[in-house]
Amino acid sequence: MNICDDEMLVLSENQKKLEQEYEAMKKSGASSEQLWSKANELHKANEACNNYASKHTSAYSS
């Protein structure tokens, strides 16, 4: 199943941006609290992508 629409692309790009920010923060020696906060943002972005994909793939398989 290939989901390719603007909303999914935006969600995916946001997730990738947060991953890059998290890795940059790790390399720069950010505090545990800062890393935890960014990891939480990343987790929410990942959930949003997964929920969106799940909702739209289940609609196609019905």
The pLDDT of residue 31: 98
Count of structural domains within the chain: 1
Q: Is residue 43 part of a domain?
A: yes
Print the SS3 string covering the chain.
CCCCCHHHHHHHHHHHHHHHHHHHHHHCCCCHHHHHHHHHHHHHHHHHHHHHHHHHHHHHHC
Using alpha carbons only, what angle is made at residue 27 by residues 24 and 49, rounded to the nearest 5 degrees? 40
Q: Could you read off the pLDDT of 9-26 as tens digits, one per residue? A: 899 999 999 999 999 999
Q: Could you read off the pLDDT of 19-62 as tens digits, one per residue? A: 999 999 999 999 999 999 999 999 999 999 999 888 877 655 55
Q: Is residue 45 part of a domain?
A: yes
Q: Is residue 41 part of a domain?
A: yes
Tell whether pTM > 0.85.
no
Provide the residue range defining the domain that includes 61: 32-62
